[in-house]
Structure 1
Amino acid sequence: MEKNEAVNLWEAAKSQLSEKYFQILEDHCMLDIYTVKGHSGVFLSSPPIAFFLAKKRVMVVGREPMGWRDASCPYKLGKDTDINSINSSMRVANKFDLEKKSRSWFKRFYFKVSSEVGGVENSAVWSNLFCVSFKKGSPLKSPAFESIKFISQKLLSAQIEVLKPDVIFFACGYTGDSFIKEVFELTESEVLIPRLLWRFKIDGIQCFRTSHPRWLPGREARKQAIQLAIV
């Protein structure tokens, strides 16, 4: 694909996502979440240009955005929001995709699947199972978890619908399995290694649920997932 064509696809996808994000967040009262202290800002995924140049379009889904935009998210701060607010948040997410080096285990996994599966450096799009964290960790124990779960499902579904990745790595560990099973219609589900590697499809998209990249005992299972995704 020519770069000009990729840029056009990138701009169109960002525009579609920002509109969907804005509508989702406008339709659901964020006060249900932010009346409880300890939540991060809202994470809004955004694809890099390289996503549209990759031989396979890859999405990497983590668990939650720990401490994401704690001091600058307009939804958390109770400020007026518009499309510009959404676009600003998406640009922050893009900075993650453009980093070249990191000591983070998650980011190393991101680099690896971008290059080995996507065929282009920094080409994967980063997302999260849950759109906010609670006390810099999982929102599972948040009093507002039902609202978080509902909005997270809407946001993640919008990303999959607009971006249409060829493969999705849910690098979130087995604690995310119940959420995945609850919010998506799964087909061709197969547990390859109990707790460490689960293969399934969402709307025909090949998906792998692995352990979080910092969980070293799951390293071989993650390698297997990458090899299966390359085929």
Structure 2
Amino acid sequence: MLNERLWGAYCNILENIDPKFLDARVPHGSRPEELSGLFVTSVNDGYAESKNKIMIVGSETAGWNVLTKGERFKCLESYVRSSMDKHKSYFERELGGKNSRGYSFHNFTRAVGKRCGKEGLIYSNLFCFDWKKGSPINTPHFDTIRRHSELLLKKQIEILEPDIIIFANGMVSVPHRREYFPLSECINGRDYSAQGIPNRHLWEFQLRGKTRSFRIHHPSARAKAAAAARTYLLNLLPSV
């Protein structure tokens, strides 16, 4: 039911988007090949009954192709459905996999899932499109990407009502996260500097006075302080 609500909301938000953002082969102004397919979030079938509902907001996902080679765009509704199906299977596979060497985003999501339960995890992104050669921020398409990304993320929060949100999207996109969620909406902030965790690595607040939220560096950050902040955050999260 929740995935159906998300699907309907996504279609409404994207109803006027230029099809070139969804299929690089659409004539009359095709998008550059560097632009990924659309990233939209789905949830586990057991999400509604899960004990801990936790949203992790990352950065854009490299190489996110919704249409298979040779497949053409048919309509927005089927495209969004395919993107959600891809997200669901991808995230289930990542959560069930083994940690990679070093630091990675999904090493962190697996750690959160192990502590808090996998069924209630939400994997979302600050931006709904990726640019293969760096961030989409400096591309001529960014105004469109940012506008739709904000609407999609806020609708996910509205529908899924997570207990906790972890913003782990990295420092480059901080100004745009603050555009979505101004500091005036991030109240009752606290840091853990007294516990030896610098504020720039971990900050807790209530989003709109309602949702317990945290801000950390992207989980691929290798600094010892960033790694220590992730470990400290995991111990703050509720266990299953």
Same fold per superposition (TM over 0.5): yes
Paired letter, 2:88? N
Gaps of 5+ in 1: 1-11
Q: What secondary structure is seen at the aligned counterpart in 2 of 1:187?
A: strand
Bigger shift: 26-35 or 90-99? 26-35
Query: Hey, what's the Cα distance between the residues in 2 that align with 1:226 and 1:86?
Result: 33
Alignment root-mean-square deviation, CA: 2.5
Question: Is the CA contact 1:97–1:126 (under 8 Å) kept in the aligned structure 2?
Answer: yes
Does the alignment pair 1:138 with 2:155? no
Does the alignment pair 1:124 with 2:121? yes
Query: Hey, what's the Cα distance between the residues in 2 that align with 1:177 and 1:43?
Result: 19
Question: Is the CA contact 2:15–2:76 (under 8 Å) kept in the aligned structure 1?
Answer: no
Question: Is the CA contact 2:66–2:83 (under 8 Å) kept in the aligned structure 1?
Answer: no
Paired letter, 1:158? K
Gaps of 5+ in 2: 25-29, 193-197
The residue number in structure 2 matching 1:205 is 211
Does the alignment pair 1:216 with 2:222? yes
Question: Is the CA contact 1:41–1:68 (under 8 Å) kept in the aligned structure 2?
Answer: yes
Bigger shift: 212-221 or 22-31? 22-31
The residue number in structure 1 matching 2:55 is 59
1:53 Cα deviation from its structure 2 partner: 3.5
Query: Hey, what's the Cα distance between the residues in 2 that align with 1:26 and 1:78?
Result: 18
TM-score with structure 2 length normalisation? 0.80
The residue number in structure 2 matching 1:24 is 13
1:177 Cα deviation from its structure 2 partner: 2.1
Does the alignment pair 1:96 with 2:102? no
Superposition misfits of 4+ residues, deviation over 6 angstroms = none
Q: What secondary structure is seen at the aligned counterpart in 2 of 1:26?
A: coil
CA deviation profile, 1:111-136 (whole Å, cap 9, x unmatched): 111221x2x23541111111111125
Alpha-carbon spacing, 1:69–1:44, altered in 2? closer, same or farther (3 Å)? same
CA deviation profile, 1:189-216 (whole Å, cap 9, x unmatched): 3454243112222241111111111212
Question: Is the CA contact 1:61–1:172 (under 8 Å) kept in the aligned structure 2?
Answer: yes
The count of corresponding residues between Structure 1 and Structure 2 is 216
1:155 Cα deviation from its structure 2 partner: 0.7
Q: What secondary structure is seen at the aligned counterpart in 2 of 1:67?
A: coil
Paired letter, 1:113? V
Paired letter, 1:89? S
Percent of residue pairs identical: 29
Does the alignment pair 1:79 with 2:73? yes
Does the alignment pair 1:230 with 2:238? yes
Query: Hey, what's the Cα distance between the residues in 1 that align with 2:88 and 2:120?
Result: 11
Bigger shift: 126-135 or 220-229? 220-229
* Larger helix percent: 1
CA deviation profile, 1:57-106 (whole Å, cap 9, x unmatched): 011111001110165499xx872324232222111100123221144421
Question: Is the CA contact 2:55–2:164 (under 8 Å) kept in the aligned structure 1?
Answer: yes
Q: What secondary structure is seen at the aligned counterpart in 2 of 1:130?
A: coil
Paired letter, 1:51? Y
Query: Hey, what's the Cα distance between the residues in 1 that align with 2:134 and 2:191?
Result: 27
Paired letter, 1:186? C
1:28 Cα deviation from its structure 2 partner: 3.3
Asked which structure has the greater CA Rg, the reply is: 2
Q: What secondary structure is seen at the aligned counterpart in 2 of 1:28?
A: coil
Q: What secondary structure is seen at the aligned counterpart in 1 of 2:206?
A: strand
Bigger shift: 63-72 or 190-199? 190-199
Question: Is the CA contact 1:47–1:124 (under 8 Å) kept in the aligned structure 2?
Answer: yes
Question: Is the CA contact 2:60–2:129 (under 8 Å) kept in the aligned structure 1?
Answer: yes
